[in-house]
Amino acid sequence: MKWILVLEIAYTLFIIAVCLRIIYDTRSVSKTLAYLMLAVFLPVIGVIIYFSFGINYRVRKIYNKKIISDDILSQRINARIVLNSEKAIDEMNPELQKYKKLAQLLLNSNVSGLSGKNEVKLLLNGEQKFPEVLQALRDAKHHIHMEYYIFEDEKIGNEIKDILIEKAKQGVQVRFIYDDFGSRSIRKKLVPELRKAGVQAFPFYKIIFIALANRLNYRNHRKIIIVDGNIGFTGGINISDRYINDAQDTKSLFWRDTHVKIIGPGVHYLQHLFISDWNFCSEESLEIQEAFFNTHGKLKGDVEVQIAASGPDSDHPTILLNLIQAIGMADQEILITSPYFIPGISLLDALFVAALSGVKVKLLVPFESDSIWVAAAARSYYQELLDVGVEIYQYQKGFIHAKTMVIDEQLSFIGTANMDERSFELNFEVNTVIYDTGIAKELKNAFEEDLSFSLPIDPITWAARSARVQFPEKIARLLSPLL
């Protein structure tokens, strides 16, 4: 019987060690408690889940090389960014002076500079995005830099592939980063075709079996295209046929999303992000070329732009901090679109404060989601928001995948980050902050058009739902730090 006692002692010590590791390694209180519950009440399964998905790589070796590379890169770029940004902040549009602190937050936490004199164009859905992208790629003279979470081996993907191959043969530098999980359909055929033609293509954080779970957990969710250091595209639309809606096709799911095209110095920080990610993926130190930060030619725009980025290698959850501060600065209205809405305590409290202060807050979410558990977790927050006066609408026309926010018809946010823990803490994300009343009004008009295809949630009816319906949502919310 002694061996049983020895096993029990060893088992107890092991669980204690795991719990201490969880407490030491996990920053989020809710996530810490969730993993502790798993480790204690489901010891074998819970420990496996933690070591597969829960280890905080923000401070671990996997990103050390990237962080070192970023430091070297930053020394060469940051001085120019800070100098130009401080000047731009001082010269902000008088109508938007109230947002100086927001611009300063991104500069201090992310070394992301504010830039003026940009041309900005909203691109609604794939029908508007892809013609602009294809033309910009065809017109490339010096380089094309692309970074995508999802790049599918489909019609639009192959059309872009053909242009990349053609430009590479013409001597244009073409670099392509694809997420090894999100773009897994292109590994065997499309990527080798690109490489054979001279396109430099690398996967982001290549998936290997022995580290499968954790490598699935930390993904590059960014969507970035940079052409000749002066034209940039970013937003929610991946490279996939499903983002292109055909008015004649009534059977396929309508896909609603938002992207943005930037011409001007606002592209420079996107370039900074790309080079940083490129050095990590390719394990080379890309030589900084002046053409990467194109400042030649007359700047025709008058829009002020700033880029917010975050990931496991960030010192701060910059995108989350940016959203919280912006919500706190709202005077009249906040319009939010989010396909996966699991806000967490800090963002939820910011929305509570805004709504209870008399700011009109409207939240647009999908009626149906592609993730049952994420949708259930999101629904668990609705009653609290409804109780403080937030208006919640469910999109009925199809699936709404846009990640946008509009503040007081002055400030716009368009990006890749969902309002959930995964986007704020685990994935590499990028959002565009646009300080411009014209763009804000245009994005508000798009929001209101989306509302015409949506149904509001009635607070009384929602509160009257049965316990049987609400209980799975409570469970999903409890597990939301792990989703």
For the annotated catalytic residues, the residue numbers are 221, 223, 228, 401, 403, 408
* Strand 143-148 with 173-179, pairing: parallel
Residue 224 forms beta bridges with which residues?
147, 234
Distance CA 107, CA 111 (A): 4
Q: Centre a 10 Å sphere on the Cβ of residue 4 and count the other Cβ atoms it contains.
A: 8
Distance CA 232, CA 275 (A): 14
Q: Centre a 10 Å sphere on the Cβ of residue 248 and count the other Cβ atoms it contains.
A: 4
> Which two three-digit tokens encode residue 173?
């530098």
365: exposed, middle or buried (Cβ count in 10 Å: 0-12, 13-18, 19+):
buried
